[in-house]
Chain A
Amino acid sequence: MWIDYIKIPWKEMKRRKLRSWLTLLGVFIGIAAIVSLISLGQGLENAIEQQFQALGKDKLFISPKGGTFGIGSSVIMTKKDLEVITDVTGIERAAGMTFTLGQIEFNDQVWFPFVSGLPTEPEEMALIGEAQTWKIFKGRNLKKGDKFKALLGFEYTQDKILGKAVEVGDKVLIGGKEFKVVGFIDKIGSPPDDQGVMIPIDAHREIFGKEDEVNFIIAQTKTGEDPATVAEEVKKDLRKHRDVEKGNEDFEIQTPEQFAEAFGEILNIVQIVLIGIAGISLLVGGIGIMNTMYTAVLQRTKEIGILKALGARNSQILTLFLVESGLYGLGGGIVGVTMGIGFAKLTEFVFVLAVGPAFLSVDINPWLISGTLLFSILVGCLSGIAPAWSASKQKPVDSLRYE
């Protein structure tokens, strides 16, 4: 009966509890690492994917080359570039924004956040509104006709940046000019965003002297157009307008898909490296099983002889030992999967607590769990092959004599 082939090894494992646990330890560390890394990685990938979904796939993001969103780049793009982009056939509409590292003053304290200048024309606002993934936490969004009004990041609703929480209606100094706070953005999860300041683009140009400049352009492609194809057209026209050679563009065009791909690629590489390391620890765990099994075979030499005297065939001895090493793998797998999920959930919890919910939602995949368990059984069995083989090949006479 097959159940006997599980019961007998199981009793042997229980007989030497400490050794069994140490063997399991070697396996479950690797398994736990693999499970938590894959769950976390998958969760991160899903979160990023969601962000880009929200962004909308029909958008193009155009910015000067180098720097982030135009900040830190020596290249300057202007309103004229925006016009060129708007004139491309495949483009429905486009809106420009300005960015700068500015100064905010409140409660006699100073902070240097990113200050964004956003268009307040309804159509342009709508375009940016579609591409933005944030929500209003308190107060209202900027609207047409606003000039010295500001929308602040979530962290200003607390006292840690300016020593005192800012309220809707408060007056703050931005770049030395007085602005009235109209609202706050809900928590995003990254400090630069949560400390950001948004003001109407006209006010931004005035204070920071960006008369003609545009730091970031969002363009929407026409329905039915392929964003990648349109992006090429935009590139061509901008090259012509800016008089640069192909391959030497001083601007960048990105589509959400490209963003997602780039992120996904980095994430994959990081995951592969981490899982590779976890794999090495699993290999070490497998060697631990092998070691345990060799010791077990040696210690049970006499018992192997007895079983053979009682009519056990070589294949039956082999099965008994293979099942035992497989059970070590399975046991390590069960503990490891449980701990891995626990660790991933804990990380998620800490992340959400620290930076906000947008970044990570751990994905517990049943395929991952069953796959990992099968894999750990496989590791156990593979590690047990050589010891089990040596057990099965023992001569009954010699084994019986062994003390």
Chain B
Amino acid sequence: MNKKTVIELKNVVKKYFIGEITLEVLRGVNLEINKGEFVVIVGPSGSGKSTLMNQVGVLDVPTSGKILLEGEDISKMTESDLAQLRGKKVGFIFQQFNLIPTLTALENVILPTIFQNVPEEKRTKKALSLLNEVGLGERINHKPNELSGGQQQRVAIARALINDPEIILADEPTGNLDSKSGQQVMDLLAKLHSVEKKTIILITHDIDLVRYAQRTVHLKDGEVVKIEYNHHSKR
């Protein structure tokens, strides 16, 4: 396989210092994720999944080790550069949806473009087409509290896509949803992978979601313990 690496973790260590105690959450993680790949990272709670996600999504920098995003070392970047990079390259989908309650669905989707200075006309058009794509074309002027959990998560997906990022990073996206809404969200992610050729990184403790992945990374106690390839992944 001659695939381009989007993100590469080299011996990533993350330690938290709480008073006298040092907590080593990631203990030298090595991982390469290729362009267009659908990777599921699974592990029990406390395995360091969320911390790993923060590193991959460049929300945080490692204590030691290197993270290369499209070949660029992020550990040397300023906070501002990291923010800029996140906005362009990574689309986040959270378990809690994390929409801004004062903004409508449309405004929430547009939000990331504001920080990238995308022209008004272009961004509205794009946001509308994305909301249509996730099946919410009729609800663009609704505030988050007027939408169901599944609908909120679909708004979040549209928001994650607005800047056309390389990577979609989903942290327990179905964790707060009933099984039907969860199914819709997973179908959308699968479609983004197969049709839009997006790189999807899904973090979950739900072993059932492994069937969507081409590759499953098992994390335990801050270390990668097993990597499985699934050539018959369900699309």
Interface residues, chain A, with chain B CB atoms under 8 Å away: 1, 4-5, 8, 11-12, 14-15, 302-303, 306-316, 395-397, 400
Check: B102 CB closer than 8 A to any chain A CB: yes
Are A311 and B116 neighbours in the complex by a CB distance under 8 Å? yes
Chain B residues whose C-beta falls within 8 Å of the C-beta of A14 in the assembled complex: 102
Q: B80 contacts A315, CB within 8 Å?
A: yes
Known interface pairs A12-B102, A306-B98; 17 further A-B residue pairs with C-beta atoms within 8 A, sorted by A's residue number:
A8-B103, A11-B102, A14-B102, A15-B101, A302-B98, A306-B100, A309-B86, A310-B86, A310-B111, A311-B84, A311-B87, A311-B115, A311-B116, A313-B79, A314-B83, A395-B60, A397-B60
B117 at the A/B interface (Cβ < 8 Å)?
yes
Which chain A residues border B66 with CB–CB below 8 Å? none
Annotate B65-90 by CB proximity to A: 1 below 8 A, 0 otherwise: 00000000000000110011011100
Nearest CB on A from B202, distance (A): 17
Residue on A nearest B89 in the bound complex, by CB: A311
Assess A310 versus B115: contact at CB under 8 Å? Given A15-B102, A302-B98, A397-B59.
yes
Identify which of B59, B111, B120 contacts A1 (C-beta below 8 A): B120
Q: A310-B159, A313-B80, A315-B80 are in contact. Are A4 and B100 (CB under 8 A)?
A: no
Q: Are A1 and B115 also in contact (CB < 8 A) when A15-B102, A313-B83 are?
A: no
Closest 3 A/B residue pairs (Cβ)? A311-B87, A11-B102, A310-B112
Which B residues from 30 to 50 make CB contacts under 8 A with A?
Answer: none
Task: Give the complex CA separation of A310 and B160 in angstroms.
Answer: 8
Do A400 and B83 touch (CB < 8 A)?
Answer: no
- Flag if B60 contacts A316 (CB, 8 Å): no
Distance to closest chain B CB from A17 (angstroms): 12
A308 touches B83 (CB 8 A): yes
Q: Is B212 an interface residue (CB 8 A)?
A: no
Instruction: Evaluate contact between A311 and B100: CB separation under 8 angstroms.
Output: no
Q: Cβ of A303: which chain B residues have Cβ within 8 Å of it?
A: 100
Q: Nearest A residue to B60 by beta-carbon distance?
A: A397
Tell me which residues across on chain B come within 8 A of A310, comparing CB atoms.
Answer: 86-87, 92, 111-112, 115, 159
In the complex, what distance in Å separates the CA atom of A303 from the CA atom of B111? 12
Cβ–Cβ < 8 Å partners of A302 in chain B: 98
Minimal Cβ-Cβ distance residue in B for A395: B60
Q: Is B173 an interface residue (CB 8 A)?
A: no
A306 to B163 CA separation, bound complex (whole angstroms): 15
Contact with A along B85-124 (1 / 0, CB 8 A): 0111000101000101111000000011011110010000
* CB within 8 Å of A: which B13-67 residues: 54, 57, 59-60
How many Å from the CB of A275 to the closest CB on chain B? 38
- Chain B residues near A312: list those with CB within 8 A: 83, 87, 115
Give, as a whole number of angstroms, the nearest-CB distance from B168 to chain A.
13
Q: In the complex, what residues of A have CB within 8 A of residue B112's CB?
A: 310-311
Closest to A396 in B: B59
Q: Which residues of A contact B116 (CB under 8 A)?
A: 311
Q: Is B86 within 8 A of A311, CB to CB?
A: yes
Residue of A4, A14, A303, A314 with most partner-chain B CB within 10 A: A4
From B79, B84, B159, B163, residue with most partner A Cβ within 10 Å: B79
16 A-B pairs, CB-CB below 8 angstroms?
Answer: A11-B102, A15-B102, A309-B59, A309-B92, A310-B92, A310-B112, A310-B115, A311-B84, A311-B88, A312-B83, A312-B87, A313-B79, A314-B80, A316-B115, A396-B60, A400-B94
B103 near A11 (CB under 8 angstroms)?
yes
In the docked arrangement, what's the CA distance between A316 and B115, Å?
Answer: 7
Centre residue among B57, B100, B101, B117 by max chain A CB count within 10 A: B100
Task: Name the residue on A nearest B118 (C-beta).
Answer: A1
| Residue from the list B54, B84, B98, B159 in contact with A313, Cβ < 8 A | B84
Question: Of all chain A residues, which has the CB nearest B114?
Answer: A4
Distance A397 CA – B60 CA, assembled complex (angstroms):
7
Bound: A11/B107 CA distance, A: 11
- Hey, which chain B residues are within 8 Å of A12, CB to CB? 102
From 133 to 164 in chain B, residues with beta carbon under 8 angstroms from any chain A beta carbon are: 159, 163
Cα A393 to Cα B80 with chains together (Å): 11
Q: Of A313, A396, A397, A400, which contacts B115 at CB under 8 A?
A: A313
Of chain A, the residue at the smallest CB distance from B80 is: A313
Q: Tell me whether A1 and B102 are in contact (CB under 8 A).
A: no
Q: In the bound complex, how far is the Cα of B94 from the Cα of A32, in angstroms?
A: 47
B114 near A1 (CB under 8 angstroms)? yes
A316 and chain B: residue at smallest CB distance: B115
| Interface hub of B54, B79, B101, B114 (most chain A Cβ within 10 A) | B114
Instruction: Give complex CA distance A310, B102 in Å.
Output: 16
A395–B60 Cα distance when bound, in Å, is: 8
Is B117 a contact partner of A311 (Cβ separation < 8 A)? Answer: no
Nearest-CB distance from A297 to chain B (Å)? 15
Residues of B within 8 A of A309 (CB): 57, 59, 86, 92, 98
Q: What's the Cα separation between A274 and B203 when bound, in Å?
A: 64
